[in-house]
Structure 1
C-alpha cells in the first residue's frame, strides 16, 4: 500500500470518527492487537474506502429511495447497509 492510500484511509477514518463522535484507533491496520479502525457509540468499526468499489451498493440504496439494504452471500449471515446518518439516528435514539 502506498502513501496516498494510507493517507486516504486515515482521512476517511477521521471523517467517520467525527461523524459518529468517536475516535480513530491508532495503528489499527499496522498491528494485530488493535481491532477496528474507529470506536464510537459503543461499537468498533472497520472502515473501507474505494473510488468506485461500492458503486452498486449506493445504486441499490438510491434507486428505490429505501432506508436500508440487506445483502447476503451464500452461506453467510445477511448484512444491513444503511446511510451513516440513519445509523446514527438509530443508535442515538436507544
Structure 2
C-alpha cells in the first residue's frame, strides 16, 4: 500500500471516528490485541474501508427514490446476514437505544 493510500485510509478512519463520537485506534489496528481494528465507537470495534466506487451498487440501493429503504439486508450463500445503512441513521438508532 502506498503512502497516499495509507493517508486516505487514516483520514477516513478519523472522519468515521468523529462521526460516531469514537476514537481512532493507534496504528490503525496493525498491532493487534487492544489495538485491533480501526475505530472504537458506540461500544463496538470497527474496521473502516474506503473505496472510490467500490460499493456503488449498495449506495444506489440505499438511495433508490422509489423504495427509500432505511437499511439493506444482504446474504451470500452459506454466510451470515449483513446489514448496511447510513452511518448517521445507525448512530441515531444506537443513541436511542442507550436512552431506554
Partner of 2:58: 57
Q: Which has the higher helix share?
A: 2
Give the TM-score, by structure 2 length.
Answer: 0.89
Matched, 1:82 2:81: no
Q: Give the superposition deviation at 1:28.
A: 2.7
Segments of 4+ moved more than 6 angstroms? none
SS in 2 for 1:39: strand
Q: Give the superposition deviation at 1:15.
A: 0.3
- Unpaired runs of at least 5, structure 2: none
- Given that residues 10 and 28 in structure 2 are in contact (C-alpha distance below 8 angstroms), is that contact kept between their aligned partners in structure 1? no
- Given that residues 71 and 83 in structure 2 are in contact (C-alpha distance below 8 angstroms), is that contact kept between their aligned partners in structure 1? yes
Matched, 1:71 2:74: yes
Q: CA RMSD in A?
A: 1.0
